[in-house]
């Protein structure tokens, strides 16, 4: 199926979409014999047969992914981890759930590292298997959790890896948008929303027109962040200008229930929100057009905004609130002011 003009796809319901829809997941009254089919529909690849051999275990496993993991991205990642563990067990002729022991889980983790999986990936896989076994223990499917006593690899992160744009690059990026293009006005407003509110792309593409409102003579945004957090923030005057110009040109201010950032097809905006992958392609395209060589993505504007805010005297605890982080330690990972200090010191070397 061809892509839209702005790079978005006409249909986002791919086989790897683990959204909880009636087409994918059965109701609680679904017969146990259909649990395997329901899990198989969760994503591409071989289903985790280790957890599906016995009907009660299969139903309990399905309940785990349906009821315990509300976030689609986390569900997709955890389901992939469980599938990999099941495949490893099958390859080692370990096909009974009750025979799994801590030694098997530890050996699997070593195999993942040997295959080149990063430490964060290994820790995530262990967390997925551990949570599933906990759920099976509570449901009296297995007597104990074999992953509970297994320790994952040590991994300490002091600085994030997300590319950050400089102040000059951000200026060049926003200055390069033509004012006579509706798509350009949309893209500029979307990028500014991420840069000035520190919002995740998932929250930005979910915005509706009604989520941009006036309070105290200033525009505000109501963001639905991760973990069902509602984060309401006043708009920077530049962001407010970009949003107003986009809404005026798009003529969608009256469609309050419609998406704020919409796909573009057949020469006009559609009543469908821009998806994250299309936004990522748009970011890369706009960076190239501005002559910026950085491999930045959607998340780069979150990190760039936090770094710029702290560099200009902002407080870490306020940045944490704006970014809707549960811990200031997470916010500090986005602080890349130390990169410039390190570069200045390196330039002292002269031959």
Residue 39: per-residue pLDDT? 61
Flag whether the pTM goes above 0.85.
no
Structural domains in the chain?
32-138 (1.10.150), 167-346 (1.10.443.10)
Is-contact 114 99, C-beta < 8 A?
A: no
Task: Convert the pLDDT of each residue in 219-269 to its tens digit.
Answer: 999 998 877 788 898 999 999 999 999 999 999 999 999 999 999 998 899
Residues in the chain: 351
Residue 346, pLDDT score: 62
What's the pLDDT score for residue 13?
37
Summarize pLDDT for 270-327 with one digit per residue, the tens: 999 999 999 999 999 999 999 998 889 998 998 899 888 888 888 888 888 888 777 7
């Amino acid at each position: 199926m061809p892509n839209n003009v702005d790079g978005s796809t006409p249909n986002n319901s791919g086989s790897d979409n683990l959204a909880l829809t009636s087409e994918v997941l059965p109701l609680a009254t679904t017969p146990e014999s259909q649990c395997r089919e329901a899990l198989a529909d969760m994503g591409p690849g071989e289903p985790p047969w280790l957890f599906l051999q016995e009907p009660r275990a299969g139903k309990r496993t399905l309940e785990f992914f349906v009821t315990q993991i509300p976030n689609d991205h986390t569900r997709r990642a955890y389901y992939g981890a469980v599938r990999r563990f099941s495949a490893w067990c099958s390859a080692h002729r370990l096909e009974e759930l009750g025979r799994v022991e801590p030694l098997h889980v530890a050996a699997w983790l070593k195999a993942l590292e040997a295959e080149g999986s990063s430490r964060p990936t290994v820790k995530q896989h262990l967390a997925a298997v551990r949570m599933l076994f906990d759920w099976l223990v509570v449901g009296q499917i297995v007597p104990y959790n074999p992953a509970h006593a297994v320790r994952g690899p040590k991994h300490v992160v002091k600085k994030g890896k997300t590319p950050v744009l400089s102040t000059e690059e951000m200026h060049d990026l926003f200055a390069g948008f033509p004012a006579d293009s509706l798509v350009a006005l949309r893209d500029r407003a979307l990028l500014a929303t991420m840069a000035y509110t520190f919002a995740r792309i998932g929250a930005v593409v979910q915005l509706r027109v009604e989520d941009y409102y006036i309070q105290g003579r200033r525009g505000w945004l109501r963001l639905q962040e991760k973990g069902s957090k509602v984060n309401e923030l006043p708009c920077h005057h530049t962001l407010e200008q970009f949003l107003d110009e986009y809404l005026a040109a798009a003529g969608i201010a009256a469609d309050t229930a419609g998406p704020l950032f919409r796909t573009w097809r057949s020469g006009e905006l559609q009543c469908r929100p821009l998806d994250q992958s299309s936004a990522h392609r748009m970011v890369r395209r706009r960076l190239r057009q501005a002559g910026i060589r950085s491999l930045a993505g959607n998340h780069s504007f979150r990190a760039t905004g936090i770094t710029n805010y702290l560099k200009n005297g902002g407080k870490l605890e306020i940045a944490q609130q704006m970014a809707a982080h549960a811990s200031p330690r997470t916010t500090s990972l986005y602080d890349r002011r130390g990169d410039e200090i390190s570069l200045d010191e390196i330039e002292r070397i002269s031959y």
